[in-house]
Chains A and B, each alone.
Chain A
């Protein structure tokens, strides 16, 4: 029986970051999808039903935390682990993320892909 690939969604509006993240995840054997806006997230995530979501906070038309809040209103999607990846070091946003049930609040510049691999493994295995 072939092992099913994990599906990971990356919600990130900076193309320089989105495309390299998707490239990396695919090279690690995951099915990776890049999403650029909140509206796209609402449309695509229920279709994809990923195993893990990376969410940026500053998106073109809305705050990524609001995207998380709305996605979690659907009980099936609420179960998907969400990892916030942002360059915004703000205590208030971190607390909001925590209260929304986000699993991690990570500052992008603190993490290389090697460390992200460990975090991904942790949350994919936990499900």
Chain B
């Protein structure tokens, strides 16, 4: 029967038989209670089990939000560990980068509306060829850059996403009119756990790992990442993606 080859020896499920990787085990153990808190809180907030007054809703939302922070931190730590061990696995597929960008803008609508920023999207030298890349990782990178821009830009601010077709690669940029990164902090931006003073002020929940992860992923995906920023004027993050790795 085919499944005997797939599953290998032994039927015992104790997780140690599946992997001995400490970080995988630790993140699995951490995620179990975090998913329990997530779903049990969500069902209460849904009011399917009874009415809630304003205060009850408020404090349940606080539980849900704090839990999401913990979940994001576990995800980031798992990513950083894989990056540091050189275990980044790329699932390469022909991808329309412009579609991925549009999907992400769509999925962040709640955040965009709440922040009252405007998002512009432009393609230069189109039409764009498909790129052979890891779609999930590309999504994570764009989500990280775009949500940073939204967080650090005041309402009525402008954010622009541009994709440029070059000979052998695409250049994607996310430009905002936000608070910018002070010159004194710019060399540290891609360091693990680094948070600029502005970031701490505007988004106290961040892990400080997002850009380290994004840059590491882009490096693994054959591209480069860099940025331009001026205090109080705004920041533009750029990254490239070769058409073929």
Contacts and interface: CB of A to CB of B under 8 A. Distances in A.
Q: Do A and B come from one complex?
A: yes
Interface of A: 14, 16-17, 20-21, 23-24, 27, 38, 57-66, 69-70, 73, 87-91, 93, 96, 99-100, 107-109, 112-114
Nearest to B35: A108
Given A17-B32, A24-B39, A89-B27, 7 more contacts: A17-B39, A21-B39, A63-B13, A70-B3, A73-B1, A90-B19, A108-B35
A90 B18 contact: yes
B186 interface: no
A16 to B, nearest CB: 4
Contacts of B39: 17, 20-21, 24, 112-113
B18 A113 contact: no
B31 A107 contact: yes
B78 interface: yes
Contacts, number: 99
A24 B43 contact: yes
Contacts of B36: 14, 16-17, 20
A127 B119 CA distance: 39
Contact of A109 (B18, B74, B89): B74
18 contacts: A17-B36, A20-B40, A23-B49, A24-B39, A24-B43, A27-B48, A58-B28, A62-B11, A62-B13, A65-B7, A69-B1, A69-B2, A69-B7, A88-B28, A90-B19, A109-B35, A112-B38, A113-B46
A113 B19 CA distance: 29
Contacts of B52: none
Interface of B: 1-3, 6-7, 11-15, 18-19, 24, 27-28, 31-36, 38-40, 42-43, 46, 48-49, 71, 74-75, 78, 89
B3 A108 contact: no
Contacts of A87: 27-28, 31-32, 35
A67 to B, nearest CB: 9
Contacts of B38: 108-109, 112
A88 to B, nearest CB: 5
B24 A88 contact: yes
Nearest to A108: B35
B35 A91 contact: no
Contact of B34 (A62, A66, A70, A109): A109
B28 A63 contact: no
Contacts of A20: 36, 39-40, 43
A50 B49 CA distance: 25
A61 B6 CA distance: 18
Contacts of A60: 13
A108 B49 CA distance: 22
Nearest to B3: A69
A54 to B, nearest CB: 12
A23 B11 contact: no
A3 B38 CA distance: 31
A114 B64 CA distance: 14
Contact of A69 (B6, B24, B31, B32): B6
Contacts of A107: 31
A16 B34 CA distance: 11
